[in-house]
Structure 1
């Protein structure tokens, strides 16, 4: 029996080490130069599963530097790998890809590794540089809409994923509580305040926020200030009304996020950058001292002028020195700071807090802002810090294929809370991650609550529930199965007593192979900052599990998970089911989705 759990806990990584060992053997035999750069050598599942279990590009990426033809080098590497005790078959495809089929006992051992690890399967070792993930950061001017929802779920799942692989993660929300939009909020709230005092305010004027969500703010202002604000000039009442309105909007936003189980460690106020200590001015002064800020004029742009171009002498940041297309203004003509200046100071503060890896999750309309912000982070950190901006594309909200446009609460958009209340947290979170973040997402309120294979969140959750149900029914066959079958005692029973060599059906081996690929999937998703990969993987795993279950229930009764006349085979198959349950539970947890024991 093969039971090297240290190796089989991450099969692709272990096979990569075997490929490297084969290359070492070729070097020792004089067939390869010892100084070849092997950093691009990979081991990954082939696109077509019929080609084998894993494939390596070693010959393709090394042939040129080795002075050999890829196919010639592939044959030499394949000859070494064929002798490896893990390898059942080696094939060379096309110009030099090497496909490997591993012996079934490797996948059985990988299943044992997954069972031993339990909820820690694929979890990384704590360590590495801290990472700051800033997401949502919606303006505090009203309830969050469905577009904010996607960024919230993406950022939260990404933070979960990075923490799971061992990175120290800070989840941050940047409160845009400075600038014109919060002054409009204050004026809109003041109108509702007058309404709360009994005044007929008539239609909401153009340019103010019309939503009914500001009615409670007006009432709160009336309860707190009575008539005292009513006849004061705007300059007097605006700061107080603005603060109350922002605080109430943020409380509403926090409540909406809580409904999605989205949380943040830090809520950072933009206004704090300019009130009290002028951190924006300090940042500009520091950059000027380094020669990164100067007074000058911007040349006329080609085509349509950008929003921040002015033909005048002004304070400019040398963003072109750090990869941007043009230098950028830091002050407006009235002497106030540009949004960019505040954003530079904010990100400089992140670097000052010890973050060299920054991830910002932005909406679809901010793509043109990426280069300048990455230039700013490079400049303020002396090239030490890196900013990765993840754009989340638009969400098209549908109901049975028809667009949904109007909100009962906000008037002109659908709120996040309305969607969560209608279809539930799990459907929202999973489906917001079932497309790559930079692809437009169609979210159909009717489809996401269907109990069918066409509804991915149902199908994956049903896979977990179905696995749990197998254990409940298994008590009829295995008297020794403990009552607390979900706990460590049952898991230990599956591990110590299960004859995994009885698992030899191609469907069973395919499930074990999928389970074994989970650590590599997690590692790659974390490195690429792409949590959607987990959702795709879970759907495929659940599909394979349902297919195997169905095979045993119809055409092939000898493949049933519970065999009345063969307790030992039943025990082995329960170990396989437990492996599927483990991975589905871990994966769903990373996405912030529940893994139910039953579904009705």
Structure 2
């Protein structure tokens, strides 16, 4: 049930009639005709821009179109009033029976708001993909929450979603990890060690070194690097991935696929992807222009194997092979995305950290070229998270080993709070995470405010059960505060589709806060007007009708929190 879609269909039908009657010229496109909530609720329940977007192609005055359209719309029982405003906007008011039916529809459909918009389209969402060199830190946490919520949102909107983690285990950083673990291994044997040459000094590697000692004894002690590097690299990488999986589980994130970068090397897959681009005439030998900001005397021109990424929207062509014949970092990424294309995904989404902004255009160009423009790639960048506690900023430094981990955050405030707060800002906006404020029980804390609304509904239902009230799905909506809640519920299916289409799960968190605000306002109004209270003393039938609305609120809040990966609160403590 999508009331906004239903009313839009009514508007389109009326416009089609106007064309058939000669009130509008033939050949008009109605694609840009929208029905949406008015900016000011005092103007009505819904508004349509139909007259405004059709005036120019129809070569007519907007008000003339709007007045004819209004006359047709009010013939339908779902439209009480259709008022022309300003130059030609049309404000619509719906009768109370529509809102009563809306609440009944929510209660009849636990999946209210789910959409078939995605039509089963296969979407790959790659997120987190942190280097396997240590536990996840708070920056990874935001990407993990955003990617997971986006995947759930797309699933809710009818897509076939695969959650994927790309293990960056093919680069030099895993060699550094192996050397770092070797130092902890020697330390476990009682040796004094020094962490130099960029090795990782974090304590999280202490148990890995001890476990390695228990497994191989002193087999690697005093041996040259060539004897142990490959084995320890594999051992350490798997140990770090186990740690990362545990971190993700703490946050309630479960991946469908873990894809190893290392699997691309020595298998011909990188060569195959580059050969595919070569077959399209997009690979050539050439010399790049000096990077911006470099003086000519600082630049040493070298012939490299280049990808014509500029033919697919990039600013400059990109090297895929260095002058020494080795692959650039970009080459395995091309092969990895080619693998996604070959797996038959209809759309790809990559969630990257803010430091990957320069990588967006080249990656989009590669996917466009590999799929002949058939598979879109959307890259979402997540900005930094600033941690605060006791009014002081929390610092983190991964290399120093004293960074704030994902687990640190979850252990202090819980998974639910962590996930909701991470979605209270759009992904490309910086986020302040204040440990004190996120646990505050006030309207200024959105996660508390939304959870409190759900807990209040559950409290009402427990009391209704104690009083033996038989529930009904037919509400009694009379007061403006009750209607305001019903109208906000009606926006849910529309909001889901907008958020899914724009890949913006933060819209769900914003909506839930607005719904909770309307619900709390109704609850508080019952303090002054007893007839608005959900439980009416000695009037079980009246109570049952009043409880229908908060039950519908709980359905939507539960669905919305489910998308965000947050468990609805049964009670507040």
Pair in the same fold by TM > 0.5: yes
Unaligned stretches of 5+ residues in structure 2: none
Rounded to whole Å, the distance in 2 between the matches of 1:158 and 1:241 is 36
Any conservation in 2 of the 1:186–1:238 contact (CA below 8 Å)?
yes
**Conservation of the 8 A alpha-carbon contact between 1:182 and 1:242:** yes
1:299: how far off?
Answer: 2.4
Aligned pairs for 1:129-208 within 5 A: 129-201=121-193, 203-208=194-199
2:541 to 568, 571, 582: 568
Alpha-carbon distance change, 574 to 410 in structure 1, aligned in 2, over 3 angstroms? farther
Shift of 1:570: 1.1
Cα distance change of structure 1 residues 40 and 235 upon mapping to structure 2, 3 Å threshold: same
Asked if structure 2 preserves the Cα contact closer than 8 Å seen for 1:409 and 1:415, the reply is no
Partner secondary structure for residue 472 of structure 2:
helix
Equivalent residue number for residue 482 of structure 2: 508
1:378-405 CA deviation, whole Å, 9 max, x = no partner? Answer: 0011111100011111101111432112
Instruction: Note the C-alpha offset of 1:334.
Output: 2.6
Match of 1:103 among 95, 105, 114: 95
Q: Output the TM-score relative to the length of structure 2.
A: 0.96
Q: 2:559 aligned with 1:586, yes or no?
A: yes
Residues 400, 447 of structure 1: 8 Å contact kept: no
Q: Does 1:556 align with 2:529?
A: yes
| 2:10 is aligned with 1:18 | yes
More deviation in 53-62 or 439-448?
53-62
In structure 2, the residue matched to 1:344 is: 334
For structure 1, list consecutive stretches of 5 or more residues without a partner in the other structure. 1-8, 482-492
CA distance in 2, matches of 1:310, 1:432: 44
Task: Say whether 1:519 aligns with 2:493.
Answer: yes
1:440 aligns with 430
**In the TM superposition, what is the alpha-carbon distance from 1:480 to its structure 2 partner?**
4.7
1:287-313 Cα deviation digits (max 9, x unpaired): 11221111111123443489xx96211
The superposition leaves residues 333-353 of structure 1 with CA deviations (integer Å, 9 ceiling, x where unpaired) of 332111111111000000000
Q: For residue 599 of structure 1, what is the aligned residue in structure 2?
A: 572
Alignment partners' CA distance in 1, 2:239 and 2:70: 66
Which shows bigger deviation, 264-273 or 213-222?
A: 213-222
Match of 2:360 in 1: 370
> d(CA) in 1 for partners of 2:481 and 2:300?
66
Offset of residue 79 of structure 1 = 2.4
Query: Counterpart of 2:264?
Result: 273
Q: 2: distance between equivalents of 1:169 and 1:64? A: 41
- Residue by residue, what CA displacement relative to the aligned partner does 1:1-33 show, whole Å, maximum 9, x if unpaired? xxxxxxxx2100000001101101211220112
Deviation at 1:76, TM superposition (A): 2.3
Shift of 1:82: 2.7
- 1:92 aligned onto 2:84: yes
Once the two structures are superposed, what CA deviation does each residue of 1:237-273 show, in whole Å capped at 9, x if it has no partner? 1111111111011100000000000010000000000
Contact 1:162 1:169 in 2 (8 A): yes
Please state if 1:30 is matched with 2:22: yes
For 2:305, which of 307, 315, 318 is the aligned residue? 315
Could you tell me whether the CA contact under 8 Å between 2:350 and 2:380 is conserved in 1?
Answer: yes
- In structure 1, what is the Cα distance between the partners aligned to 2:417 and 2:38? 31
SS at match of 1:87: coil
| CA displacement at 1:538 relative to structure 2 | 0.6
CA RMSD for the aligned pairs? 1.8
Sort the Cα spacing of 1:255 and 1:597 in 2 relative to 1 into closer, same or farther, 3 A.
same
The CA distance in 1 between the partners of 2:294 and 2:391, in whole Å, is 37
CA contact (8 A) 2:419 2:564 kept: yes
TM-score (norm 1): 0.92
Structure 2 residue 506 is matched with structure 1 residue 532:
yes
CA apart distance, 1:409: 12
Question: How many Å apart are 1:406 and its aligned residue?
Answer: 5.1
State yes or no: 1:293 paired with 2:283: yes
Q: Aligned pair count? A: 570
Does the residue aligned with 1:19 lie in a helix, a strand or coil? helix
- The equivalent of 1:245 in structure 2 is 236
2:214 maps to 1:211: no
Name the SS of the counterpart of 1:264 in structure 2: coil
Shift of 1:50: 1.6
- Asked if the contact 2:45/2:92 (under 8 Å) is kept, the reply is yes
Selected match of 2:33 from 22, 41, 54: 41
1:84 is displaced (CA, Å) by 2.4
Partner of residue 486, structure 1: none
Question: Are the equivalent residues in 2 in contact too, given 1:407–1:415 (CA < 8 A)?
Answer: no
Cα pair 2:469 2:540 within 8 Å, conserved: no
Shift of 1:53: 1.1
Look up the SS of the partner of 2:491 in the other structure. Answer: helix
Output aligned runs, 1:418-433, within 5 Å: 418-433=408-423
Measured after TM superposition, the shift of residue 132 of structure 1 is 0.3
| Distance verdict in 2 for CA 1:420–1:476, change over 3 Å | closer
Distance 2:216 2:323 in 1: 37
